[in-house]
Structure 1
Amino acid sequence: MNIPSGGQKIRDAATIILLDRTAPDEPAVLMGQRGTAAAFMPSKYVFPGGAVDEADAEVELSKPVDPLLRRLLAAEPRRDAPVSPEAIVTAALRELAEETGLLTKGTGPAPARWDHYANAGLAPNPNGLIYLFRAITPPGRTRRFDARFLLLDAESLHGDRNDFSLACDELSHLHWVPLSQARALDLPFITEVVLAEISAMIGRGGPLSQPQTVPFFDNQDCEPRFLQIT
Structure 2
Amino acid sequence: MTTDKTAIRDAATVIVVRDPAENPRILMGQRGSKAAFMPNKFVFPGGAVDIGDYEIPLAAPLAAECQNRLLDDLRPETPEGALTALATAAIRELWEETGLVLGAKGTWSGTPPEDWTGYAATGHVPSGSDMRFVFRAITPPGRPRRFDARFFLINADQLSGDLDDFSRASDELSHLQWVGLKDARSHDLPFITEVVLAEIEGLLPDLAAPASVPFFKNDDEAGWFKRLHGRAPTEADLGG
Equivalent pair of 1:101/1:116 in contact (CA under 8 Å): no
CA distance in 2, matches of 1:229, 1:187: 25
The equivalent position to 1:183 in structure 2, one of 182, 185, 188, is: 185
Unpaired runs of at least 5, structure 2: 230-240
- CA-atom RMSD in angstroms: 1.7
Equivalent pair of 2:153/2:207 in contact (CA under 8 Å): no
Helix, strand or coil for the counterpart of 2:186?
A: coil
Partner of 1:68: 65
Partner of 2:99: 101
CA distance in 2, matches of 1:27, 1:93: 21
Helix, strand or coil for the counterpart of 1:97?
A: helix
Give aligned-pair identity as a percent.
51
CA distance in 2, matches of 1:40, 1:164: 23
Unpaired runs of at least 5, structure 1: 1-6
CA deviation after TM superposition for structure 1 residue 101, in Å: 0.4
Helix, strand or coil for the counterpart of 1:147?
A: strand
Q: Deviations over 1:24-72 (max 9, x none)?
A: x620000000000101100000000000011111101111221111111
Equivalent pair of 2:103/2:128 in contact (CA under 8 Å): no
Q: Which AA in structure 2 matches 1:47?
A: F
Helix, strand or coil for the counterpart of 1:57?
A: helix
Runs of 4+ in 1 over 4 A off after TM superposition: none
Partner of 2:44: 47
Q: Which AA in structure 2 matches 1:19?
A: V
Helix, strand or coil for the counterpart of 1:63?
A: coil
Equivalent pair of 2:214/2:227 in contact (CA under 8 Å): yes
CA deviation after TM superposition for structure 1 residue 198, in Å: 0.7
Query: Structure 2 matches for 1:142-153, cutoff 5 A?
Result: 142-153=144-155
Q: Deviations over 1:166-215 (max 9, x none)?
A: 0000000000000010010000000000000011111xx4x322223100
Q: Which AA in structure 1 matches 2:127?
A: N
Equivalent pair of 1:138/1:222 in contact (CA under 8 Å): no
Helix, strand or coil for the counterpart of 1:141?
A: coil
Q: State how many pairs are aligned.
A: 220
Matched, 1:209 2:208: yes
Moved more, 102-111 or 40-49: 102-111
Helix, strand or coil for the counterpart of 2:195?
A: helix
The equivalent position to 1:28 in structure 2, one of 21, 25, 28, is: 25
Partner of 2:237: none
Equivalent pair of 1:62/1:107 in contact (CA under 8 Å): no
Equivalent pair of 2:63/2:132 in contact (CA under 8 Å): no
Equivalent pair of 1:139/1:222 in contact (CA under 8 Å): no
CA distance in 1, matches of 2:72, 2:51: 20
Query: Structure 2 matches for 1:189-204, cutoff 5 A?
Result: 189-202=191-204
